Amino acid sequence: QMWEEAIALGKELAEQYENEMFDYEQLSELLRKQAQFYENIVKVIRPKPDYFAVGYYGQGFPTFIRNKVFIYRGKEYERREDFEARLLTQFPNAEKMKTTSPPGDDIKNSSGQYIQCFTVKPKLDLPSKFHRPVSEQIVSFYRVNEVQRFEYSRPVRKGEKNPDNEFANMWIERTIYVTAYKLPGILRWFEVKSVFMVEISPLENAIETMQLTNDKINNMVQQHLNDPNLPINPLSMLLNGIVDPAVMGGFTNYEKAFFTEKYMHEHPEDHDKIEKLKDLIAWQIPFLAEGIRLHGEKVTEALRPFHERMEACFRQLRDKVEKQYGVRAALPSVEERRGSRPRSMVRSFTMPSSSRPVSVASVSSISSDSAPSRPGSDGFVLEPLLPKKMHSRSQDKLDKDDLDKDKKEKKKEKRNSKHQEIFDKEFKSTDISLQQSEAVILSETISPLRPQRPKSQVLNVLASERRFSVSPVPPSSQLTPPPITPRTKLSFTIQPNLELNGMSSSDIPDVPPPLPLKGSTADYGNLMESPDLTSPTTSPPAHQRVSP
């Protein structure tokens, strides 16, 4: 379940598939696996294994472990007793030590075998890429993986014993173990390379405990926000242990030990630390308020009296803390605590498809799929949907093109109706044989958003040819074709002085060369052919035109 490591290896493989092997099938399968890994990281709760420090003391052990300390990674849900039993099966003659303090030289130089085993806590070492707060579900992996520093804390009492408050003189002796490599690695255990010890004062211990408590409340609230199906019992015990003074006493013991005139007079250097502890106590109230709100939403009717008592205790606690230490702002929004996405990304995931903004490219592609339509004519309204910041030059150009096309469409309808009348008048009455009077050079300009040519435009071209190239009079009296107004997308021009293949207009014979053979009539189907258009040497098959 170390999906973070699998993703790192998958990225190396993806680089090879994409840029070296060009195996896109393997690349697509690999990317699907990575997507599943990312989903597992967020949604699947993984068990956290424990780490154990094991010391082998005595001359009876092999030299590679003799008088050395190792850090072991336990199995999932493995308790220390089970791990010790598994360890002692390898050394049945070894004796288990009862203390956690380092042994003396007498034990190290003895001929026997002594094993010391105790639980250590891994020290979180976040990668540098996490430069902002992220979800606890993501950080939880690094609390027990890719760790190299481990600590063991042992309480030590100094000074006179205070029966009323044990926190006043309870120091913490903390031992830090640094392994040779990060765990887990190719092995589940590595040798400890360095050991050093620090002492934590009672006030520093109180600050650290309050910080851990606040983080624990916040993390559990985040888990319930991410997964509403989690059981409510752990949240109930955590909240009740803090707000109910009859359970653990809360932070009242800290107030009695450190917030007194006597302590301030004896330890003036701890003024800043005391202010920090007060600030942590004040910040605990918003965390508790959010947790109790969630608890009230998920509590069952059987636990309703328990929740009401907890709410009553919390109200008293809140009034007291806000009066003594001030009011802190409410928790940030849920999206910010989860590591919110950019606003545009959140909108793209949450907006329904009917109201989601459609880009210019997608509108154009949708329009081009339907044959006779043009962009913007299939019911999409671009202006209300796109935000102002998304308007670019391409959008303004498209809007301008739509206006121009609407005007041209109206002109085209007028011309089509006029040409249809000419066609009905001249082609329905008589069957006219067509003759070519002069070579016509077709120049066709294709715009980036060119729609397919409608049938009305084909009739338009037929009527145009009829007007300048077809005449019912004998061939001897040829008419001069009228000038033709050029169009934006499809224009026909007559150029008698144009050179073709190095030949001037005087060298071109009277009979033009035949049109090339083509399977489809996409480009040449608009020219009506006659037997006079074919050359004497080549006789392509005549195309039969069917009148509309």
pTM: 0.57
Instruction: Using the structure block, give the residue that is written with the tokens 């001037």.
Output: 504
178 and 57 together in one domain: yes
Residues 38 and 178 in one domain: no
pLDDT tens-place string over residues 8-58: 999 999 999 999 999 999 999 999 999 999 999 988 889 999 999 999 999
Identify the weakest region by mean pLDDT among 66-70, 295-299, 347-351, 480-484.
347-351
pLDDT of residue 511: 64
Q: What is the mean pLDDT of residues 183-211?
A: 93
203: pLDDT strictly greater than 80: yes
Residues 71 and 168 in one domain: yes
Tell me the three state secondary structure of residue 119. strand
Residue 201 has pLDDT above 60, yes or no: yes
Residues 234, 262, single domain; the answer is yes
Q: Report the pLDDT averaged over residues 355-379.
A: 40
Q: Does the residue 105 lie in any domain?
A: yes
pLDDT at res. 122: 96
Euclidean distance between the first and final Cα of the chain, in Å?
Answer: 71
Whether residues 256 and 160 fall in one domain: no
Higher pLDDT, 262 or 445: 262
The pLDDT of residue 160: 74
**Residues 196, 53 share a domain:** yes
284, 310, 332 — which closes off a domain? 332
The C-alpha atoms of residue 332 and residue 286 are separated, in whole angstroms, by: 10
Residue 526 has pLDDT above 60, yes or no: no
Question: Do the beta carbons of residue 257 and residue 273 sit within 8 Å?
Answer: no
Residue 376: the pLDDT is 41
- As given in the structure block, the two tokens for residue 182 are 């990060």
pLDDT at res. 419: 54
Whether residue 357 is contained in a domain is answered as no
| 169-184 mean pLDDT | 93
**For 410, what's the count of Cα atoms within 13 Å in the CB-facing half-sphere?**
5
* pLDDT tens-digit map of 481-501: 555 555 544 444 444 444 444
- Looking at per-residue confidence, does 202 or 424 come out higher? 202
Task: DSSP letter for 375, please.
Answer: T
Q: What's the rounded mean pLDDT across residues 393-400?
A: 50
- Are residues 57 and 191 both part of a single domain? yes
- Average pLDDT, integer, range 418-440: 49
Q: Are residues 62 and 155 in the same domain?
A: yes
Residue at 87 is within a domain: yes
| Confidence bin at 373 (pLDDT 50/70/90) | very low
260: domain range? 202-332
Least confident window among 30-34, 54-58, 120-124, 252-256: 252-256
485 within domain boundaries: no
* pLDDT > 70 in the chain, percent: 59
In the predicted structure, residue 112 carries a pLDDT above the cut 70: yes
| Least confident segment among 138-142, 206-210, 525-529 | 525-529
- The residue length of the chain stands at 548
pLDDT of residue 472: 47
For residue 477, pLDDT over 70 is answered with no
In a domain, 371, yes or no: no
**Residue at 545 is within a domain:** no
Q: What is the mean pLDDT of residues 422-443?
A: 48
Average pLDDT over residues 84-89: 93
Q: Which residues on adjacent β-strands are paired with residue 353?
A: none
Q: What is the tens place of the pLDDT at every residue in 257-307?
A: 888 888 888 888 888 999 999 999 999 999 999 999 999 998 889 889 999
Is a pLDDT exceeding 80 seen at residue 375?
Answer: no
196 lies in the same domain as 52 = yes
pLDDT at 30: 97
pLDDT value of residue 262: 85
Judge whether 138 lies within some domain. yes
Domain tally, the chain: 3
Partners of 192 in the beta sheet?
179
Which pLDDT band holds residue 471 (cuts at 50, 70, 90)?
very low
Task: Report pLDDT for 400.
Answer: 55
Q: What per-residue confidence (pLDDT) applies to 168?
A: 77
Report whether pLDDT(230) > 80: yes
pLDDT of 26: 95
Residues 30 and 61 in one domain: no
Looking at per-residue pLDDT, the higher value among 22 and 355 belongs to: 22
CA distance 367 to 452: 11
**Over the stretch 162-173, which tens digit does the pLDDT of each residue have?**
766 777 788 999
| Region of residue 124 (left: phi > 0; alpha: psi -120 to 50; beta: else) | beta
Looking up residue 322, the CATH number of its domain turns out to be 1.20.58.740
Q: Are residues 165 and 233 in the same domain?
A: no
Distance of CA 349 to the CA centre of its chain: 10
For 5, residues 6+ apart whose C-beta sits below 8 A from its C-beta are none
Please state, rounded to an integer, the average pLDDT across all residues of the chain. Answer: 74
Q: Which residues are bridge partners to 117 per DSSP? A: 54
Predicted confidence (pLDDT) at residue 358 exceeds the cutoff of 50: no
Whether 15 and 55 share a structural domain = no
Residue 422 inside a domain? The answer is no
pLDDT above 80 (res 366)? no
In degrees and rounded to multiples of 5, residue 311 shows phi and psi of -65, -40
Rg value, the chain, Cα? 43
**H helix count then E strand count, the chain:** 18, 9
Predicted pLDDT at 144: 94
Task: Tell which of 281, 300, 332 closes a domain.
Answer: 332
Res. 250 pLDDT band, cuts 50 70 90: low
Confidence at residue 293, expressed as pLDDT on a 0 to 100 scale: 92
Cβ neighbours of residue 195 closer than 8 Å, sequence gap 6 or more: 69, 175, 176, 177, 178
β-strand partners of 70? 54, 191
pLDDT score for 286? 92
Percentage of the chain modeled with pLDDT above 90: 35
With tokens 């699947």, the residue in question is 44
